[in-house]
A = this chain, B = another copy of it.
Amino acid sequence: MKLPRAAPFLTLSLTLLIALAAPAHAQQDRNLAERLGYAKDAKLLIVHDDDLGVSHSVNAAGIAALESGAITSASIMVPCPWFPEIAAYAQAHPDADFGLHLTLTSERVYVKWGPVASRDTVASLVDANGYLRQDWPDAAQINPQDVERELRAQVEKALAMGVHPTHLDSHQYRLFENGEKIFAAALRVAHDYKLPLLIPKEWVDEHPYLKSSAGPNDILLDRVVSIEATVPPSGWNEFYVTALKNLQPGVTEFIVHLAYDNDEMRAMTRERDSWGAAWRQRDFDFFSSAQFRTLLAQENIKLITWRELGKLAIDKN
């Protein structure tokens, strides 16, 4: 009797046939939550810490928050001085959900960094002193080929130093807000390394190329939430509480900025309060709080990571 042995093969074949017979758009009709294996109306949240590598204070706070579960995910700035510290941590903790915070600017005054690529090969990205430009008042000065060269250098250096990123995003949103050619350069790098790139649906209205450039397997996040400088320190927790109580179904990313408000951080951000030392301590305190944990449970919000999202994209682009 060969039937018992043949049965698994038959079952598999039938599954395959059904899958192949399904309309091509069926997969796309399922929303992101469903594609991740959750209910259609699940409220899924990535709590994502930016800027690892920029200082020891940022690294230490980010690591503490990952280890306590205060955040689920973080991204790393490869050109920055403390990149070796966070790369060593990432190498020793391969399950941690680290992405690369692709960095094309050096926006501070008292601490600065240059490109990863040899400076002469990315001339449009650097200032007269050899640092990445502080700002991009005119994005037309930026050569998209320099952008792509620098992004590839950042990914290659991260891999060489033991970071195996789960995703890519962009420091100061430079890659998203400066025209189709620069975004396309980032997208080519993401596809080549089979890494998901942060693209929130709600940015598409302002920058239609975010959607038109994306391939069928690029993931568009339902929304991102990022606190702004208009929120006074006294309203910090209230901002996040309101955002959590009103969280809509789908995948939301909270983009947060953690650090300890210590000498190092105060000195390196002293030229302005926005994304400064006190700001980052407030973010650290809220997401480390029991209040945040309680709200997640009350509102039935599930924390997820970029690693889960990446499984939808990897090997498909």
Residue positions of A touching B, CB distance < 8 A: 55-57, 59-60, 80-85, 88, 109-114, 116, 118-121, 128-130, 157, 160-161, 260, 262-264, 267-268
Whether A116 touches B130, Cβ cut-off 8 Å, given contacts A60-B263, A264-B57, is yes
A112 to B109, CA, bound (A): 19
With both beta carbons as reference points, the residue of chain B lying nearest to A86 in the complex is identified as B110
Asked whether, in the complex, the Cβ of B161 is within 8 Å of the Cβ of A129, the reply is yes
A222 to chain B, nearest CB (A): 37
Least Cβ–Cβ distance between A111 and chain B, in angstroms: 5
How distant is A154 from chain B, measured CB to nearest CB, in Å? Answer: 11
Contact B119 A160 (CB under 8 A): no
Cα separation A161 to B127 with both chains bound (whole Å): 12
Residues of chain B within 8 A (CB-CB) of A110 are 56, 82, 84-85, 88
- In the complex, how many angstroms separate the beta carbon of A80 from the nearest chain B beta carbon? 8
Q: In the complex, what residue of chain B is closest to A89 when comparing beta carbons?
A: B110
A250–chain B nearest beta-carbon distance, Å:
39
Shortest beta-carbon distance from A36 to chain B in Å = 35
8 closest A-B pairs by CB: A81-B81, A85-B110, A118-B119, A264-B264, A118-B120, A56-B267, A84-B112, A56-B264
Please state if A81 and B112 are interface contacts (CB–CB under 8 Å).
yes
Docked-complex contact B82 and A111, CB < 8 angstroms: yes
Q: For A56, give the chain B residue with the smallest CB separation.
A: B267
Instruction: A53 to B231: give the CA distance in the assembly, Å.
Output: 34
When chains A and B are docked, how far (Å) is the Cα of A110 from the Cα of B86?
A: 8
* C-alpha spacing A276/B204, complex, angstroms: 50
Subset of 25 A-B contacts with CB under 8 Å? A56-B110, A56-B111, A56-B268, A60-B263, A60-B267, A81-B111, A81-B113, A82-B110, A82-B111, A84-B109, A84-B110, A84-B112, A85-B110, A88-B110, A116-B130, A118-B119, A118-B120, A119-B119, A120-B120, A129-B157, A129-B161, A262-B262, A262-B263, A263-B264, A264-B264
Q: A59's closest neighbor in chain B, by CB?
A: B267
- Cα distance A160–B127 in the bound complex, in angstroms: 12
Chain B residues contacting A268 (CB-CB under 8 Å) are: 56
